[in-house]
C-alpha cells in the first residue's frame, strides 16, 4: 500500500477564511489535537504576515511533538528568514515557499517574466534549503499554468533542493481528470521528481477539491493538503476528513493509507467548530449530524437487519460517541474522569476541577447527562481560561407589548458590577447592559443558538461574533440549559477574549 502524507493547513489557509480566525491559545490547542489526529505536517501559519502570526507559528513549533511544522513564505529572503526563525525549534521543521507560475499571475500580480520566475525559484529554494533540510515548493495557480513551463519551474526547485513539490489548484478550477493528467505529465517531465514528494492542494470553488485530490493520489501524488471541515479561502480547501475516510473506506480502490487515527476525526472537527463558532453543516460528509442518521423506514429497516445495507462507514471509526445517558447528579469526579477518558478526552487535574464544577451545576438542572452534554462541557472548558469578567447573575423581563429589560451582574477583578438596560428583546437588553457597565462600544456581528442534545432540558450552545471598536472580531461561546444565560455567557466570553488580546 502507498503511504499518503496528510499536510494540514487548517491553521494557515483555513484560518485565512472569514470568521475562522483563532487566538494564540486556540491555535495551540488545535495544533495539539492535529498532532493527536496523526497528521504528518501542520502548516502553522505565515510567519511574515504579522508579529502575532510569527508568535503562533513559533509556539506551535514548540508545542507539538510528532509532526512536522511548516511556515509559509513567499520567494523572498525576508519571508524565508521569518519562516525559518518561527519553525526552527520544531522537532521537524519545514519551510514552504511559493511563487505563482500561471501567465495571469506572472503578468498582473508578480509583473515578472518567465525567466525571472525561474531564476527566483532557483535562488529562493536554494536559500531556504541553506537553512532547513525540508523544503516544500508550491507553484501557485499551477493548474492554470502552462505545463511545459510548470515542469521547468519544478525541475529548478528540485535542483535547488526542494524535497516536496506542491501542485495547487489555487482557484478550484480544475477537474479530477485534468488534475490526474497534470500529475502524470509532471511525473514524466520534471527532472528528479522521483526523489521528492508530490503534493496537491485543491480549493473547492466548484465543489471538486476532494475529488481532485483523490484523482491526484491515484495518479501518483504522495501528499495531500487539506483542512479540518474543509475551511479555507472562499469555498474552502479539500476536507481532511473526507479524503482520509475515502482512502480508508475505499482501500480496495486507492491502495493507499495514511497515518491518521480516524477515531480522532470527529473530535478534531468539533473542536475546530467550537473554537471558530462556525457550525458543521448537518449533511456534511463524515462529520455532519446527519451523516450516520437514517430517517426513512426502508433505510431503518435495512440497517437493523444489517448495518452495511446503508452504511459504508462505522460512526465509531470516526470517533462519534453513541449519545447515551451516562451520568447523573450523584456521579462523582472519578466516574466523570473515567467516562471522559473512555470518550478519548484526557484533561489536566486543574481543568478537571472546572469541568466537574460545571458538571455539578448541569446535573442539578438536568436529570440525565449524556455523552453529547459531556462533550459540550469539555469542549467549552477553555472558556474558563478567559475570566476577566464572570457572569454572576441575570434577570430579564421580556414579552410582547412590554419593555424588554435586563439586569446583569458581572464580577471583574473581584469587584461586582451591575447594570440595567432596555432593549428590543431580552438579549439586546442584556448586551446593552454589559456594554454600558464595561464602558464598551461593541457591535454584535452575528448570533446563533444550537441545541447540543434533544429534549426539553437540552443544553443550548450560543455563539456570538462581536466587533470591537478597532474593527477586530471575536467569537464567544456559552453553554447553559437556559438559552438567555448561554447567550450572555457567549457575549461575555467574546469580550474576555477581546480584553485578553488588547491587555
Ligand atoms: O492555494 C494556494 O495556491 C496556496 C498556496 C500558497 C499553496 O494556498
Ligand atoms: Zn490555498
Q: What is the DSSP string of 417-481?
A: EEEEEEESSHHHHHHHHHHHHHT---EEEEEEEEESSSSTTPPEEEEEEEE-TTS-EEEEEEEES
475 CA → ligand 1 middle, Å: 26
Q: Is 389 left (phi over 0), alpha (psi -120 to 50) or beta?
A: beta
Cell 414579552 locates to 399
Output the pLDDT for position 298: 82
Contacts of residue 334, defined as CB under 8 A and 6 or more positions apart, other chains included, come to none
The whole-angstrom separation of Cα 425 and Cα 398 is 7
Is residue 46 in contact with ligand 1, taking CB distance under 6 Å?
no
Q: Which residues surround ligand 2, an ion (CB under 5 A)?
A: 13
pLDDT computed for residue 503 by the predictor: 62
What whole-number distance in Å separates Cα of residue 302 and Cα of residue 286?
A: 20
DSSP designation for 229? G
Phi, psi of 265 (to 5 degrees): -65, -50
Distance CA 67, CA 490 (A): 33
Residue with CA nearest ligand 1 atom 8: 13
Determine if ligand 1 sits within 6 Å of the CB of residue 232: no
pTM of the model: 0.91
Distance 463 CA to ligand 2 centre (A): 27
Question: What domains appear along the chain, each with residue ranges and CATH number?
Answer: 2-276 (3.20.20.70), 292-320 (no CATH), 383-502 (3.30.160.270)
Smallest Cα–Cα separation from 222: which of 230, 231, 213? 213
What pLDDT does 269 receive?
97
Q: Any idea which ligand is nearest the CA of 237?
A: 2
Residue nearest to atom 5 of ligand 1 (CA): 140
pLDDT in tens, the chain (503 residues): 999 999 999 999 999 888 898 999 999 999 999 999 999 999 999 999 999 999 999 999 999 999 999 999 999 999 999 999 999 999 999 999 999 999 999 999 999 999 999 999 999 999 999 999 999 999 999 999 999 999 999 999 999 999 999 999 999 999 999 999 999 999 999 999 999 999 999 999 999 999 999 999 999 999 999 999 999 999 999 999 999 999 999 999 999 999 999 999 999 999 999 999 999 999 999 999 899 887 778 887 788 888 888 889 999 999 988 767 678 888 999 999 988 988 888 888 988 998 999 899 899 988 788 888 999 999 888 777 778 999 999 999 999 889 999 999 999 988 999 999 999 999 999 999 999 999 999 999 999 998 887 777 889 999 999 999 889 899 999 999 999 999 999 999 999 999 987 66
Of 7, 10, 12, 13, the residue with max ligand 1 atoms within 8 A of its CB, to mutate for a pocket test, comes to 13
Ligand 1 contact via 15 beta carbon (within 6 Å): no
Asked if 501 and 472 count as a contact pair (C-beta separation under 8 A), the reply is yes
- CA 30/CA 33 separation, integer angstroms: 5
Could you tell me if the CB of 140 is within 6 A of ligand 1? Answer: yes
* Buried residues in 43-69 as b, exposed as e (16+ CB within 10 A): bbbbbbbeeebbebbbbbbebbeebbb
Amino acid at each position: 500500500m502507498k503511504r499518503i502524507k496528510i499536510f494540514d493547513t487548517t491553521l494557515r489557509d483555513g484560518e485565512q477564511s472569514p470568521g475562522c480566525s483563532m487566538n494564540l491559545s486556540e491555535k495551540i490547542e488545535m495544533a495539539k489535537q492535529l498532532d493527536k489526529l496523526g497528521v504528518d505536517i501542520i502548516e502553522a501559519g505565515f510567519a511574515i504576515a504579522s508579529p502575532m502570526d510569527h508568535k503562533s507559528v513559533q509556539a506551535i513549533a514548540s508545542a507539538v511533538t510528532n509532526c512536522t511544522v511548516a511556515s509559509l513564505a513567499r520567494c523572498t529572503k525576508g519571508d524565508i528568514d521569518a519562516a525559518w526563525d518561527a519553525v526552527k525549534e520544531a522537532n521537524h521543521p519545514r519551510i514552504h515557499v511559493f511563487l505563482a507560475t500561471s501567465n495571469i499571475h506572472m503578468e498582473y500580480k508578480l509583473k515578472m517574466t518567465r525567466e525571472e520566475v525561474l531564476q527566483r525559484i532557483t535562488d529562493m529554494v536554494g536559500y531556504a534549503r541553506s537553512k532547513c533540510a525540508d523544503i516544500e515548493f508550491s507553484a501557485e495557480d499551477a493548474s492554470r499554468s502552462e505545463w511545459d513551463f510548470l515542469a521547468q519551474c519544478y525541475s529548478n526547485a528540485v535542483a535547488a533542493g526542494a524535497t516536496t513539490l506542491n501542485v495547487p489548484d489555487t482557484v478550484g478550477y480544475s477537474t479530477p481528470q485534468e488534475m490526474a493528467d497534470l500529475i502524470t505529465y509532471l511525473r514524466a517531465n520534471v527532472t528528479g521528481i522521483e526523489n521528492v514528494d508530490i503534493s496537491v492542494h485543491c480549493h473547492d470553488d466548484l465543489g471538486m477539491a476532494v475529488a481532485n485530490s483523490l484523482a491526484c493520489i491515484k495518479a501518483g501524488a504522495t501528499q495531500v493538503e487539506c483542512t479540518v471541515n474543509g475551511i479555507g479561502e472562499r469555498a474552502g480547501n479539500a476536507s481532511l476528513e473526507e479524503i482520509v475516510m475515502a482512502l480508508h473506506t475505499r482501500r480496495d480502490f486507492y491502495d493507499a493509507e495514511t497515518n491518521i487515527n480516524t477515531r480522532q476525526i470527529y473530535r478534531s472537527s468539533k473542536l475546530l467548530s467550537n473554537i471558530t463558532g462556525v457550525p458543521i453543516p448537518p449533511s456534511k460528509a463524515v462529520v455532519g449530524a446527519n451523516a450516520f442518521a437514517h430517517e426513512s423506514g426502508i433505510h431503518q429497516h435495512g440497517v437493523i437487519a444489517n448495518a452495511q445495507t446503508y452504511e459504508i462507514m462505522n460512526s465509531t471509526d470516526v470517533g462519534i460517541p453513541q449519545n447515551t445517558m451516562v451520568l447523573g447528579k450523584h456521579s462523582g469526579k472519578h466516574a466523570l474522569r473515567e467516562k471522559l477518558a473512555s470518550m478519548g478526552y484526557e484533561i489536566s487535574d486543574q481543568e478537571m476541577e472546572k469541568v466537574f464544577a460545571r458538571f455539578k451545576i448541569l446535573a442539578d438542572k438536568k436529570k440525565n447527562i449524556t455523552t453529547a452534554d459531556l462533550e459540550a462541557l469539555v469542549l467549552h472548558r477553555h472558556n474558563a481560561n478567559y475570566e476577566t469578567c464572570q457572569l454572576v447573575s441575570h434577570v430579564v423581563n421580556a414579552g410582547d407589548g412590554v419593555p424588554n429589560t435586563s439586569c446583569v451582574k458581572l464580577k471583574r477583578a473581584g469587584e461586582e458590577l451591575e447594570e440595567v438596560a432596555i432593549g428590543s428583546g431580552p438579549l439586546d437588553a442584556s448586551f446593552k447592559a454589559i456594554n454600558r457597565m464595561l464602558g464598551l462600544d461593541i457591535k454584535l456581528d452575528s448570533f446563533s443558538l444550537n441545541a447540543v442534545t434533544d429534549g426539553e432540558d437540552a443544553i443550548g450552545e450560543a455563539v456570538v461574533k462581536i466587533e470591537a471598536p478597532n474593527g477586530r472580531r471575536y467569537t464567544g461561546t456559552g453553554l447553559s440549559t437556559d438559552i438567555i444565560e448561554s447567550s450572555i455567557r457567549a457575549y461575555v466570553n467574546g469580550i474576555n477574549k477581546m480584553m485578553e488580546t488588547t491587555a
